[in-house]
Amino acid sequence: MTDDVIPLPIDSRRKVRFEDLGKMDYKACWDYQEKLFDSIASRKLEHRLHPDQVVPNDNNYLLLVEHPHVYTLGKSGDQAHLLLSEEQLKAVDASYYPINRGGDITYHGPGQIVGYPIFDLELYFTDIHKYLRYLEEAIILTLAEYDIQAGRISGLTGVWLDEEHPLKARKIAALGVKCSRWVTMHGFAFNVQPNLQYFGNIIPCGITDKTVTSMEKELGKTVDFEEVKEKLKGHIQHLFGFEWN
């Protein structure tokens, strides 16, 4: 565990509802995220406008999901990093969405754990960079349970293997978030056992000199997908110091 990522003590004010959404269409899941995000942000605004009134404290949420093949482009991304035309997207059975998170282009698909924490960071810490480091740490700790050593590359978001060797470095998890009124949405994509060929259709996160990998590729075997999810959930809870609701 890195020095700047220290598990927060459990705080009973932090209540998180976990939802395993299984396999879900990207747009439907995005709409669901927006609904939960808006409910928390609206409640916070109402409390600020009427501080004398008791406003119910909404749950925070952790959503885990698998998406059908989809490419998403962050608001600061370059559409040229998608290397497929509309016809080619249809040929590989993939969809494409420009979305309202940070970061560049990424891929989601079967065999990948996609996580969407919808957290009110004012209950944790008001530092978006620190928030990203905590999400990365949860994935790093999960990988360590499978004897996969992972870390970070300075200046690049995400989780990497052989991060100290530029010619060998490869990404195993990507992050991209939105934060407004200190409420978060979007999150991370963790490559457990996706079809890595789909990453060949993009310049992942706009990075041209690094490759992408998965747990399956590194271990040379498939892993128990549900087991990985459970371990990841546990590390997220431990690091952020919340109670399940």
d(CA 179, CA 138): 19
Q: Is beta strand 70-73 parallel, antiparallel or unpaired with respect to 151-153?
A: unpaired
Strand ranges of the sheet holding 95-98, from the earlier edge strand across to the other edge: 95-98, 70-73, 105-108
**DSSP of 6-72, one letter per residue?**
-PPPP-TT-EEEEEEEEE--HHHHHHHHHHHHHHHHHHHHHHHH-TTS----PPEEEEEEE-SSEEE
CB atoms under 10 Å from CB of 227, counted, come to 12
Q: How many CB atoms lie within 10 A of CB 230?
A: 10
Q: What angle do the packed helices 128-144 and 225-240 form, to 10 degrees?
A: 140
Residues 132, 123: Cα–Cα separation, whole Å: 16
Q: Which of 205, 215, 228, 236 is catalytic?
A: 205
What is the chain's percent helix, strand, coil content, to nearest 5?
35, 30, 35
Q: Is 205 a residue of the active site?
A: yes
Q: What is the 3-state secondary structure (H, E, C) of 210-221?
A: CEECCHHHHHCC
Identify whether the C-beta of residue 64 lies closer than 8 Å to the C-beta of residue 33. Answer: no
Residues designated catalytic = 205
